[in-house]
Amino acid sequence: MERLAILVLLALASIQCHSQTRFANFPFAKRSTSPDGGFTLVNQNCIDRGCQDIDRKLWLISNKTNDRKLLLEIERSIRIGWAPTGSTFFLNDNLGSNVAEAYLYFPAENRRVDVGSLIDQKIPSDRHFESDSHHYFNALYWINETSLMVKRFGHFDTEGAQGFTVCYRVNVAGDVQRLSQSGYEGNSCELRAK
């Protein structure tokens, strides 16, 4: 009974952390401020007649110093999710119809980590998903203040080939754990109590 109570509390803590994640979808959102108030992501999109879509830019602003840094130009769409502490956020860059990349940003350190490259470095056997496929990395949500759920999914382009979904737990310290794998593209990634 005591073990069941502990599992329920852990599951509730995970749900609470997930529900506290601040998400924003750009270029639709204008801005998103970190939970600690230290940084703001600002979408500068072009509304003048002579501008092109490439003029959509995402800036990181320090609310203490007002320093601005261009993070990226938005090709299609991106989704960000602030960690509960506000010291980190993930960014999913949906670059095209056949690729999406995920990054971890550490604004105070002026550092970015490519989540897909980190996963491939830690679990090299999973690199085969990238060949001849529509291949997407998406950080889904923060499991807790230092770990997030990441989904690798897609389908191979060869006729009759199946899709795939692989779920990972990625820690900001660089630890990666494969949680599940399936032969279907649309499966969800949920943290399951063991």
| pLDDT > 90? residue 3 | no
pTM of the model: 0.79
Q: Which residues pair with 40 in a beta bridge?
A: 33, 61
Cα–Cα distance, 96 to 168 (Å, whole number): 22
What is the rounded distance in angstroms from the CA atom of residue 56 to the CA atom of residue 117? 26
User: Please, which residues bridge with residue 180 across strands?
Assistant: 167
Nearest to 127 by CA among 114, 143, 116: 116
Helices (runs of H) and strands (runs of E) counted in the chain? 2, 13
Which residue shows structure tokens 């491939």?
A: 120
Q: What is the pLDDT of residue 57?
A: 84
CA angle at 162 for the pair 159 and 165, rounded to the nearest 5°: 145
- For residue 124, pLDDT over 50 is answered with yes
Closest CA to 35 of 79, 87, 78, 74: 87
pLDDT tens column, 37-77: 999 998 876 555 555 544 678 899 999 999 999 888 888 88
Distance CA 110, CA 20 (A): 24
3-state helix, strand, coil split of the chain in percent (to 5) is 20, 45, 35
Farthest-apart Cα atoms in the chain, separation: 66
